Every structure is written in C-alpha cells, then in structure tokens.
A and B are shown apart, each in its own frame.
Chain A
Amino acid sequence: MLISIAFLIVIAASVTGIFLISFDNDIELMLPDNNEIRRSMRFLRESSFSDKIIISLGLNDSARTETDLIREVDRLAQSLKPPFISDVMSSVSESETANEMFAFLQYTPHLIDEKTLEKIDSQLNDDGIKSILQKNYRQLLSPSSMFITPILRSDPLGIKTGLLSALQKLSSSTGYEVTIKNGHFISKDGKHALLILKTPVSVTDGFGSRNLISYLNKEIGALPPYLSADIIAGHLHTVSNENVIKRDIKIVSIIAAIAFFFIFFFFFRDIKAVYIFLIPLASVAVSMNLSYFIIGNLSYFIIGMGAVIAGISIDYGIHIYIAVRTGSNRKEAVKNVTRPIVTGALTTISVFAAFFFSDVRGFHQLAVFSILSIVFCLSCSLYILPVFIEGKTARTFPALFDNISTVPELITDKARVSCWVILLIILLFLSSKTAFNSDIKQFDGSEPYIFKAEDNFQSVWGEKDNPAILVVQEESLEKALLTNERIYRDLANKFGNEDISNFAAIWPSNQTRTENSARWISFWKERAGKLKSLLAKHGPSYNFSDGAFSPFFENLYGEVNASGLSEDNLFLRRLKERFVLESGVGFQILTYFPDQDRYITAFTEFCRNYPGSFIVSRKSLSKALSDSISSEIIYLSAIAALFIPFLTLILLKDLRLTILALIPVFTGIAASLGILPVLGLTLNAPTIIAIMVVTGLCIDYGIFMAYTCRYHFKTGTGISVFLSALTTLIGAGVLLFARHPVLFSIGTTLFSGVLAGYMASIAAVPSMYRLWFKNKGNILT
C-alpha cells in the first residue's frame, strides 16, 4: 500500500511538473556543434534579415487597376503600427530619393580615391578634354537632354557618375524584380505591390510571433476582397511549426492511448495489467521533469519521442508480467527473465548513451531523457510490478496468442532462413538507394499555405537565389570599415567588382575619407587652372559658352563634414542598414556575392587572411551540415556497433548465440533504410536516431529469443516478445499520423525497422538456432 501511494505521489507530482516545464522548438538544437554552422546560424538569427516581413499584395479582380492597388498599399502601410511593426517601407519618393542621392554627391571629394584622380589627371590634355566635350555635347542631343544640363555643368568630367553608378548598383541589388511606379514597389506584371516591414519581434520568440501574425492577419483582413495578400516571414514558420507539433503530440497521444486500451482489453483483461501501462507513462513524466532539472528547456522534438520511449520501456513490464502469469513460481519467473531484461535494457541504454558522444545538443537531451526513462521503468518493472501481479491462474491468455506469437511450422527451417535471406537481400538493395539529405528546410513542418505563399512570391518577384554574405566583424565601426575596405579592394582586384556588392564602393572608412579629401584639394589646387584653360580652348568648338562649366569650379572645394554619414539621409540610412549591422560585440559589415561554388571556395580561402571575417552561405551551410552529420553517423554507429555486440556477448557468453541475437538488428536496420526510398523519404539526422533506437529494440528481441532457445525457460517469451513489439509498433506507428516531417520520418523508420526486426526474431532466429545447434525442439512453447 505504501509503495502504491508513493508511486502515485511521484506520478502526480511529475504530471503537475510537466505543466511548469518550458519547451522550445529551436531547430538549432538538432544541428551539429560545428563552428561554421553555429556561426552562420547565429548570424542569420541575430541579423535583422530574419526579423523582416514582406507582404505581397495582389489584385485578383481584372476590373481593378494599379491605382486601386497603390491606394490600398498606402492604407495598409498607415495602419501598421508599433509595438508589432516598427517600420514600414512601401514606397519611395522619387524626388526625395534623387535629392538624397544628389546630397550624397557632396561627399565626392572624400570618396574619390587616388586611382580615380590619376585617371582624371590622364584626361587633362587636349585630346582628353576634346573627347569629354564631344561626349557632353552628344548627351545634350538626347530626348532627355533638357534634364541633364545642370549635372553636366557641375560635373563635366563625369566624376560623380561613377559614384552614382556605385550607389545605384548597391541600391538595386535587392534580389527582387521590382519596378518603381508612382513611388511604389510594383511587380513587372503591374498586379502586385510590395511592403517591407520591420518588427522588434524575434523569429525565435514563439509567443511574440503568434501575436504578431494575428495582428498582421487582422490588418490584412480589412483589405477589400479584390486584393489577396501573401505574408513572407520567418515568424509564420515559427508559429506553424509549433501548431503542427502541438497538434501531432495531441493526436499521437490520443491514438496511442486508444491503442494501448485495446491491447489491454483484448490481451490482458486483468485490472492489474494497468500497471504495465502506468509504469512507462510515469517514467516518461518523471524523466521529463528530471531532464528539465538537469538540462533546462526541453525540445518539442525530443518530447515528441516520448511515445516511442514509452513504447520501448513498456517491454520490461510486459516481460515481467507474462513471466509471472505463466511461470509456476513468481520469484523463479522474475529471476529467469531479469537477466535478459537487464541486458536488453543495458543494450538500449548503450544505444542512447552513444548519443552523448554526438555534437548535436538535441541528441544529448534525447539521451538523458531516454536513459532516465528506461532506468526508472526498469526499476519499477523489476521491483514494484511483481508485487502487484497475481501468479499463474486458471484463466490464461487468449488462444489468439498461440497463433500470433509463434510462426506456424508449415515450412522447414531451411525454407524460413532462405525466405529471410531473400528478404534481407531485397532490403539491402533498397537501402543502397537511400539518399542522405542535409537540407535544413526538410525539418520545416510549416503548413502548405505558407510554402504556397512563398512560391507565389517567387513567381511574382523573381526567383533569384539568395546571395552569399561575407561578414567582417570588428569591435568598432571605423575598424570594420577599414577591414571591409581592404577586403573589397583585394576582392575587386581578384574577382572584379561586377558581382560583388560592398559598402566600401560608396563609403570607405573615416581615415580613407580624410586622406581622399586632402588629396582632392591638393590635386585641384594644382590642376584647376589647367582644366579651365583647356575648357576655354576647346569649348567653343562644341558651342559651349565661357561659363558653361563654372558650377564645377565654384563647388570644387565644397565643405562637407567628413566625420560621418548623415543619418538624415533616408536613402543612405536604408542602404547602410543593409550593409552595416551593429551587434553586442561590435559591428559587422556585409559583402553580398553570388552563392556559387567558385565564389564560396575562393572567398572562404580569402577569409583566412582576415581573422574575424567569415562566409554565410546557404549552400556552404548545407555542405557543412552534410559533412558534419555524415561524420556523426559514422561515429555514433561505430560506438553503437561496438556496445551492442559486446554487451550481448557478455550476457550470452557464446559467439554463435550473439550472432543469432544480432539477426533482428541487421534486419531492422535494413528495413529502416530500405523503406525510405520506397516512400520517397531521405535519410537525415532524426531518422538516424530512429535507426539507432531500432537497433536497441531489435537486439532485445534477439537476446530474448536466443536466450530462450538456449535455456528453454517457460516464461512466455514468445508472448512477451510479441506484446513488446506490438506496444513499440503502436508507439512508433502513431507517429505515422504526425504531420510534422521530422516526427513522420521517425515514425516510418521505427515502425518498419521494429516490424522487420520482430519478424526476424520469431521466424529466423529459432530456425537458425535449430539449424546451427542441431536442436529441433519447439522453443516457443
């Protein structure tokens, strides 16, 4: 009674504790602890890119026009306000942008470098000036000539055009195919408009993301029916993944509960068998609390494995229960099954313990959670459960067991083994088709409408790949600008600057600007007179008046403050936001370049010369993940491959029996890998975890069957292995109802592996034993 009360108190406390535990769905937890990967992921998370939201509004009524679209864009932009939205960019004032661009040209003396001055110097001769004047004259004949006169007068040598060109290149390198119509971002088909929002809500903030998305949906809901809206935001993925996982856990729990009830109802029909089911549930609850105390926040992905862990750990109770109910002596029965149970538990624990050797933090959580759960369940099964179970009674298990827990001996052992070999060959052949997938996107279980919106967005606004980023990190902005400048110069020399967008193209460091300014003044003090003479000499040939270029000379030494970029200039502020990031540790300056192998390889090599700089590229991130996970698989598999046979050999003390016990393991692994290409799935980190779980379970079946074959204990091994497999298959099978791709792929792998392992244990192991040990006795009775 006391034990029961204590047991109930522990369960009640654990269940209560679950509601106090904090969970998170940070996918980074499931990624290897590789510096390159961590740095890239951290950069992407901490940079402002992921906290931007894009809304694409589209006309869905052909009777409506661009005017209607623009009016609604303005209305929506005005309605979006703090605290959820801190800034809305839906339009640019062409006149203000142009004003700001021209205001920026006042910095010309500070931005023109020595090389450009040398080029200008080479033009200050008769031929050079004649060529320049001829070009200017020609430009005045173009249809827009009426608008270019002022700039030609103030910049006859075209010095500022280079800066304007660099400015335009940087400002237009957004990656979207946008046209500016009436100051708004309009698609090429004229039917869509773009709004870019900035939010203080972080993508990783699940609660904030949920409120933000609700707010946006409410505002978008007020749009007229002739407009559709696609939201492109990382926050949507956060909310949707959380919804999907929560829903999956709910569904999986309900189905598992119903399935376990039916097992109880059909097979046990004993109220005390409820303990068998209560023990693993209590174990999961207890281990969840203990894991939280040990680790801190738990991942939803790991908790999603709770049903699987319950399915695994219920086996111990089943073996004890069946042994006591079928054995003639309770103590003897428990003693007979204790060794294989403990060995099975130890092999399973060894599989999970192997995860401690992994770099993936999520795997550590899984190991702690699983091992605690198994140890608690094993202890309860061995020491508490037998106290409550009645011994052998008149009422035995249903006759159904006689058929399902044994394989009818319709065919010979040789035929069975041959069938198993053929099946194994087929599974191995299918396994060879399994592909490994390291793309992070596969872990994204967001609902289809989100991907549909993103596809729509891509088709409307262009399908350009996201550029890769070279990040320069320094403790101060000036230092960062200096390093960035050197990098840009070296990159431009090596690769040209056509495909590279770097802030240094328009804004070098304060030191360089000051040097440039001094050089400019000195240059023109020596050459302004010469230029004036040349223009006066050749100007009349092209009808230019004496004072045609006087604005240039009047503004030659225009005073500007070289100490910093004016924050009043909105255009430049926006540009700076894209290239300069301020973090807690200093400043980062970004260079955008095509995410292509040749650039990534060369730039990565290049970065070695600049400590503190690094590359962020989706492709290289994917490659790093692939490399890291591949080595992880080999490493963990090797550890598990050593642990399992070693522990099995210790128990069975016979090499041949050990090999027999490993038959279900080989079959289970082959089936887990073979099912993936058949269902169009790929191998990834979560499925590798599942395969290792399959290994731990199948070795249990193998040990039990080999042990029973060898020692002929009357402990209902066939029945208990069947029920063990059934409960595990339920635990894993319910995951097939999951929508989240990670949980689904785990379910598929576990289900196929455990099913194949179980079939091999009851069909192949006894036959192999009989053939190998020349013992034809019926081992399953």
Chain B
Amino acid sequence: MIIRILTIFLLLFFNAAYGYSQNSQAPEKIRTELTDVLSRLEKKMSGIKTLKTGFVQEKELAVFKQKVVLKGTIYIEKPARLAWHVNEPMKYIMVISHDMISQWDEDTNKVQKISLSKNPAFEAVIGQMQKWFSGAYTPLLKEYEITLLKENPASLKFTPRAATFAGNVIKSVTVDFRKDEQYINRIFIEEKSGDTTKLSFVDTQLNIPLEDSVWKVNPGVK
C-alpha cells in the first residue's frame, strides 16, 4: 500500500514534463551556459552502462528525534535495472528490473512485488527516478528553475516553479557532481518544512561487471 503513496510522492517530486522551457528572465549568457553544462553532463553520464556506488543518506526530519543515517549500496545497469541495498540501520532491498519492482526488508522478511505495467503512474515515476540518477535533467526544466551554482565540477540547484505541487513541499534540490563529472557526488534536498535529506555517493565504480546476486532479494523469504 505504501508503494502507492510512494508513487504519488515520487510522481509529485519528479513531475518532469515535456519541453525545454528555460527561465525566460535569465540572461541569454546564463541560459547558454546552463544549456552547455546540462548537455555536457548528459553526454558524460550517457557513457555509463553499469554503476556501483556506496551511499550515505542523512535525514534530518522533524518526524525523527535524531538524525537518521542510512548506509548501503546502489547498483544501476542501464537501461532498466536499479537496486537499492540498505545495510544500516536495518537491512532493506529494493530492486527495479524492467517491469517489476521487488522489495524486501529484514523485519518482515517478506518480498513485495509490483508490476509496473499494472501501475502506469508508478511506472512513470520509476522512469523519472531512473532519469534522475542518470543525470538527464533537461526534462526537469519545465518544473524546476535550474541555477548553475558552480561550473566545474558542476553544481546545480533545482528550485520548483510556483504553482507546481513540488513547489508546495520542496524548497530546493542541490546536485553536486564529482570532480570528473562522471557521476553525482551528492544530492541535497531541502523541504519547505525545514527537513533536509543529504544523499552522498561514495566509492562509485563505473562500468564494472555486476553480479547477478545484486538483482535478487533475499531468497529465503516467506
């Protein structure tokens, strides 16, 4: 059930729409620079076929008394596989493979599977999520105003435009790239409520062979 809620929220957050609509008030030079940077990043990241990266996610949420730190590994295999393994503070695995999403967690030791074709909205969201990790940000321009914080390595700040749902919830999303701009170094999300989430990528390895086991959730489940 939570997947559906998750769907809605992902949908809201990644409500990228068609079109390349830049901020018309931005000076022409800045627009050109931004275009160049986005193109450059997309070009660099388009060479990635597989990816394995450790991550640390720090959540400072009003809902929690203390900061929550999650540690784990993300695996991506283009075009259609993504795995999210959390090792701390509890074990949790989510695997997106083509049409199917499988989730498992240590507490329940149960696998939940969802067909994307039967959940078109969810499918759209997952597609956007993969786009986010892929670095192809051009489609996000319609819903977000993108500011180039730093050109080399690139640092981009996404501010939701007014009258979008994301604009009600998200204050800004900052994406920093690593030195060689081959992949993202950090994603920082600041909500209007004051909550923040920082997702840092560590030990990122590109285009390495990935074992089949990373795409499997716990086999000994109920």
Which residues in A have some Cβ–Cβ distance to B below 8 Å? 67, 70-71, 74, 93-99, 101-102, 134-135, 138-153, 158, 161-162, 164-165, 168, 172, 177-184, 188, 540, 543-545, 547-549
The contact of A180 among B62, B121, B129, by CB within 8 Å, is B121
**In the complex the two chains form, is A172's CB within 8 Å of B119's CB?**
yes
What separation, in Å, do the CA atoms of A71 and B18 have in the docked complex?
Answer: 8
A549 contacts which chain B residues (CB < 8 A)? 63
The contact of A149 among B63, B117, B119, B143, by CB within 8 Å, is B63
Interface string of B1-36 (1 = CB under 8 A from A): 110111011111101111000000000000000000
A168 contacts which chain B residues (CB < 8 A)? 4, 119, 121
Q: In this assembly, does B41 line the interface, its C-beta being within 8 Å of a C-beta of chain A?
A: no
**In the complex the two chains form, is B59's CB within 8 Å of A146's CB?**
yes
**In the complex the two chains form, is A148's CB within 8 Å of B66's CB?**
no
**In the complex the two chains form, is B165's CB within 8 Å of A99's CB?**
yes
**In the complex the two chains form, is B4's CB within 8 Å of A165's CB?**
yes
What separation, in Å, do the CA atoms of A71 and B21 have in the docked complex?
Answer: 13
**In the complex the two chains form, is A147's CB within 8 Å of B123's CB?**
no
Q: Which of B132-156 contact A (CB under 8 A)?
A: 139, 143
The contact of A138 among B59, B105, B119, by CB within 8 Å, is B105
Q: In this assembly, does B175 line the interface, its C-beta being within 8 Å of a C-beta of chain A?
A: no
Instruction: Report the minimum CB–CB distance from A91 to chain B (whole Å).
Output: 8
Instruction: Report the minimum CB–CB distance from A325 to chain B (whole Å).
Output: 78
Question: What are 25 residue pairs bridging A and B, where the CB atoms are less than 8 Å apart in the complex?
Answer: A67-B18, A94-B11, A94-B12, A96-B165, A98-B165, A138-B108, A141-B92, A142-B92, A144-B129, A152-B63, A158-B1, A161-B1, A164-B5, A165-B1, A178-B120, A180-B124, A182-B139, A183-B17, A184-B18, A188-B117, A543-B65, A543-B68, A544-B65, A545-B62, A548-B63
B86 contacts which chain A residues (CB < 8 A)? 141
B13 contacts which chain A residues (CB < 8 A)? 146-147
What separation, in Å, do the CA atoms of A148 and B68 have in the docked complex?
Answer: 15
Query: Looking at A74, A141, A153, A545, which has the most chain B CB atoms within 10 Å of its CB?
Result: A141
**In the complex the two chains form, is B8's CB within 8 Å of A95's CB?**
no
A101 contacts which chain B residues (CB < 8 A)? 8
**In the complex the two chains form, is B103's CB within 8 Å of A543's CB?**
no
**In the complex the two chains form, is A140's CB within 8 Å of B59's CB?**
yes
Closest A residue by C-beta to B197: A146
Closest A residue by C-beta to B10: A144
Q: In this assembly, does B127 line the interface, its C-beta being within 8 Å of a C-beta of chain A?
A: yes
A152 contacts which chain B residues (CB < 8 A)? 63
Q: Which of B90-141 contact A (CB under 8 A)?
A: 90, 92, 94, 103, 105, 107-108, 117-121, 123-124, 127, 129, 139
Closest A residue by C-beta to B163: A95
Q: A144-B6, A164-B4 are in contact. Are A182 and B16 (CB under 8 A)?
A: yes
What separation, in Å, do the CA atoms of A162 and B68 have in the docked complex?
Answer: 28
**In the complex the two chains form, is A148's CB within 8 Å of B94's CB?**
no
B2 contacts which chain A residues (CB < 8 A)? 135, 139, 142, 148, 158, 161
Instruction: Report the minimum CB–CB distance from A517 to chain B (whole Å).
Output: 24
Q: A188-B117, A543-B65 are in contact. Are A147 and B12 (CB under 8 A)?
A: yes
**In the complex the two chains form, is B121's CB within 8 Å of A548's CB?**
no
Q: In this assembly, does B215 line the interface, its C-beta being within 8 Å of a C-beta of chain A?
A: no
Closest B residue by C-beta to A101: B8
What separation, in Å, do the CA atoms of A180 and B8 have in the docked complex?
Answer: 13
- 20 extra A-B contacts, CB within 8 A, seeds A143-B94, A150-B193, A544-B64: A94-B17, A95-B12, A95-B15, A99-B165, A138-B108, A140-B68, A144-B129, A146-B197, A147-B9, A148-B5, A148-B6, A149-B61, A158-B2, A162-B1, A168-B4, A179-B123, A182-B16, A182-B17, A544-B65, A548-B62
Query: Looking at A138, A147, A549, which has the most chain B CB atoms within 10 Å of its CB?
Result: A147
Instruction: Report the minimum CB–CB distance from B9 to chain A (whole Å).
Output: 3
7 interchain residue pairs of minimum CB distance:
A147-B9, A182-B18, A95-B165, A180-B124, A95-B15, A548-B63, A146-B197
**In the complex the two chains form, is A70's CB within 8 Å of B18's CB?**
yes
Q: In this assembly, does B48 line the interface, its C-beta being within 8 Å of a C-beta of chain A?
A: no
Closest B residue by C-beta to A100: B165
**In the complex the two chains form, is A545's CB within 8 Å of B63's CB?**
yes
Q: In this assembly, does B201 line the interface, its C-beta being within 8 Å of a C-beta of chain A?
A: no
What separation, in Å, do the CA atoms of A178 and B123 have in the docked complex?
Answer: 10
The contact of A141 among B5, B18, B90, B189, by CB within 8 Å, is B90
What separation, in Å, do the CA atoms of A544 and B166 have in the docked complex?
Answer: 25
What separation, in Å, do the CA atoms of A153 and B118 have in the docked complex?
Answer: 28
What separation, in Å, do the CA atoms of A569 and B71 have in the docked complex?
Answer: 41
What separation, in Å, do the CA atoms of A67 and B86 have in the docked complex?
Answer: 36
Q: In this assembly, does B70 line the interface, its C-beta being within 8 Å of a C-beta of chain A?
A: yes
Query: Looking at A96, A134, A183, which has the most chain B CB atoms within 10 Å of its CB?
Result: A183
Q: In this assembly, does B42 line the interface, its C-beta being within 8 Å of a C-beta of chain A?
A: no
Instruction: Report the minimum CB–CB distance from B152 to chain A (whole Å).
Output: 28
**In the complex the two chains form, is B107's CB within 8 Å of A138's CB?**
yes
The contact of A143 among B8, B64, B84, by CB within 8 Å, is B84
A140 contacts which chain B residues (CB < 8 A)? 59, 61, 63-64, 68
Q: A67-B18, A544-B65 are in contact. Are A161 and B165 (CB under 8 A)?
A: no
What separation, in Å, do the CA atoms of A639 and B76 have in the docked complex?
Answer: 77
Closest B residue by C-beta to A180: B124
Closest A residue by C-beta to B2: A139
What separation, in Å, do the CA atoms of A181 and B123 have in the docked complex?
Answer: 9
A94 contacts which chain B residues (CB < 8 A)? 11-12, 15, 17, 121, 124
What separation, in Å, do the CA atoms of A152 and B193 have in the docked complex?
Answer: 14
What separation, in Å, do the CA atoms of A144 and B199 have in the docked complex?
Answer: 12
**In the complex the two chains form, is B70's CB within 8 Å of A141's CB?**
yes
Q: In this assembly, does B46 line the interface, its C-beta being within 8 Å of a C-beta of chain A?
A: no
The contact of A172 among B8, B84, B107, B121, by CB within 8 Å, is B121
A181 contacts which chain B residues (CB < 8 A)? 124, 127
Q: In this assembly, does B195 line the interface, its C-beta being within 8 Å of a C-beta of chain A?
A: yes
Instruction: Report the minimum CB–CB distance from A103 to chain B (whole Å).
Output: 11
What separation, in Å, do the CA atoms of A137 and B213 have in the docked complex?
Answer: 26
**In the complex the two chains form, is B120's CB within 8 Å of A172's CB?**
yes
